[in-house]
Amino acid sequence: MHIKIREVSKFYGSLKANDAVSLDIPQGKIMGILGENGAGKSTLMKILSGLVKKDGGEILVNDCQAVINSPKDGIQIGIGMLHQEPRDFISMSIKENLQVGLANSNRKSYPDFKVLEKISEALGFRLDLSGDVSRLTVGERQELELLRLLWLGVELLILDEPTTGISAGQKDQLFTALKKLAQEGKTILFVSHKLDEIQALCDQAAVMRKGKMVKVLNSPFDQNKMVELMFGRSLTRISPCRSVSHDLCIKVEGLAFEDFRLNIKDINLDLKKGEVVGLAGMAGSGQRQFLQALAGFIQPVHGTIYLGSAKINGKNCFHFQRQGIHYVPSSRLEEGLLSGMTLEEHYCLAQQEDGFFIRKKNNVIHSRERISTFRIKGTESSRVEELSGGNQQRMLLSMLREPARLLLLDDPTRGLDIESSNWIWSLLRDRCQHDTSIIFSSSDLEELLFYSDRIMVFFGGTVTRPLPASELTEERLGAMIGGKELSNIEA
């Protein structure tokens, strides 16, 4: 399947998400799609897959003009997209998810699980298709969607930031599967901001900036050149704060919690004011539950949480928020923001208004001030689902109330480019300088080592004591995440 994109445009009001973009997509190759957050990558991919309707231009499939007005149209042509945020139904079983949408397709109303298992085995996946989606990790949910698309006969696979929130082992497995699919003649568009992934996987890389296509590069790539094409200048990581106080922010003693797959106990932590503690581990190892316990969303089965000298566990999340403890989830649209609502409506909900009436004029002024301060690419009337992942993250941070004593961040730079990550960490660094403490999880080992003062490793129900980041390397931290060397570390 040979696809050509010709002068495709998409506008959201005055915002030019795609501005006359043209691109030739070679068959049987893996093409990377690069660009800063808000450059128009995801919008272009959504147009190609039928999720978003273009405002101008054309798409040619094998030199014939294609009409793609819905994901169903895309699937029938042979184009399918694996989205950055999983689009499955988490309350349903895997079998029920696979049945969704089949009644009105060219396929029979019930999937052939023997065929699915054969595809899964060929790609090296280890999915139990008889289980529930709620028990899958993010990486396993991606594998499930990939299986569904392949079973539906997709020839062009679009993957939007697929390595976000998955473990290193799952990433290697995904890359092996994608290379095998390309060898079999499938065409793959791999949307990412991670230059090392583009270097390791892709045959070509198309770079976008501010809604336009800048250049298509051939492998091997010059990463410095790619950065300059993406941002118009070279970039380096912003330096961390390192302004830790001797005063205690929060104390955790013997904390334990359980869910259907985890039984974690005896977590201990003395967190100082202004300190940054990173949480490392494979997806689903308990980092998220630990953050939620510290935010009051889930109750521990044992142990005590002290804020200063006051015991606070047993209280609800609203009490934690009133004490200045704020949680920012990694699933921005599932847990943090409300699809269909505007930025202004979100700020209205986040503010503490006196009385029953909304002061429309004041809320518009406040919204515009927040949008400007946090450099969000949108207006107060923009809906949150129209924002890029980076702008959704800025939106979440802009809604936090002051003062903030402790920020609990679940993969805060998930899916963000270098510049957006730098901006987020510059904001967090300023918070630390004013005695705000931070606990954050990340799948990026370099980020954990660079920004953390100390790191806690989660593996198989075991949690290490906080280890000085200066004493760790990527190799040692990676080994610990895989379960090695943990026996030599006192919890």
Per residue in 428-437, pLDDT (tens digit) is 888 888 889 9
In which band, very low, low, confident or very high, does the pLDDT at 488 lie, cut at 50, 70 and 90?
A: low
Name the CA dihedral angle for 39, 45, 48, 50, rounded to a multiple of 10 degrees: -110
Q: Where residue 351 falls among pLDDT bands split at 50, 70, 90?
A: confident
Residue 491 above 60 pLDDT? no
What span, in angstroms and rounded, lies between the C-alpha atoms of 457 and 286?
10
**219 or 313, greater pLDDT:** 219
What's the pLDDT score for residue 316?
87
In CATH, the architecture of 236-324+403-491 is 3-Layer(aba) Sandwich (3.40)
pLDDT of 102 reads 63
User: Are the folds of 3-231 and 236-324+403-491 the same?
Assistant: yes
pTM, two decimals, is 0.67
More confident position, 8 or 387: 8
Gap between the Cα atoms of 370 and 489, Å rounded = 44
Q: Please say if the pLDDT value at position 199 is more than 70.
A: yes
Q: What CA–CA distance (Å, rounded) separates 93 from 95?
A: 5
Q: How many CB atoms lie within 10 A of CB 401?
A: 12
CATH code of 3-231, in short, is 3.40.50.300
Both ends of the chain: CA-CA distance in Å? Answer: 54
pLDDT at 357: 64
Q: Please report which confidence band the pLDDT of residue 138 belongs to, taking 50, 70 and 90 as the band edges.
A: confident
pLDDT at 18 over 90: yes
- What's the pLDDT at 132? 86
Domain boundaries, the chain: 3-231, 236-324+403-491, 337-400
Quickly list H helices, 434-472: 445-451
- Reported as a single tens digit per residue, the pLDDT across 94-112 is 888 877 766 545 555 566 7
**Residues contacting residue 50 through CB under 8 Å, at least 6 positions apart:** 68, 69, 70, 71, 72, 73, 74, 79
Side-chain-side CA neighbours of 346 within 13 Å: the count stands at 29
DSSP symbols for 81-125:
EE-SS--S-TTSBHHHHHHTT-TTSSS-SS--HHHHHHHHHHTT-
Triad 296, 299, 300: Cα angle to 5°: 120
Q: How much is the pLDDT for 313?
A: 83
Q: How many CA atoms lie within 13 A of 357 on its CB side?
A: 4
For residues 90-97, average pLDDT: 82
d(CA 444, CA 195): 13
Bridge partners, 250 (sequence order): 271, 307
- Percent of the chain with pLDDT strictly greater than 90: 37
pLDDT at 32 over 80: yes
